[in-house]
Amino acid sequence: EEGDGVILVTRLQILSGDGSALLASLRSKVNGPIEGAGFGAMVSAQSRALGQLANEIAAALQQLSL
């Protein structure tokens, strides 16, 4: 329904190549409105939420000195 929103809750861990060391940990909760009605509006809201999560992951990766 219009006025509802999407919520994307994520926990991410970045490990070293051999998996022996935790390099970074990220917890994220992204909220976004559904603008409009129907399936397309819901998919668009989910896409925006994923885009925001991708930006958060990219920022976490930039902080690592790999």
- pLDDT (tens digit, 9 = 90+) per residue, 21-34? 999 899 999 999 99
**Residue type at 25 in one-letter notation:** S
Q: How many angstroms separate the Cα of 4 from the Cα of each of 1, 15, 35, 46, 50?
A: 6, 36, 8, 12, 17
Please give the pLDDT value at position 66. Answer: 59
pLDDT of 4 strictly over 90: no
Please give the pLDDT value at position 64. Answer: 84
Q: Is the pTM of this model over 0.75?
A: yes
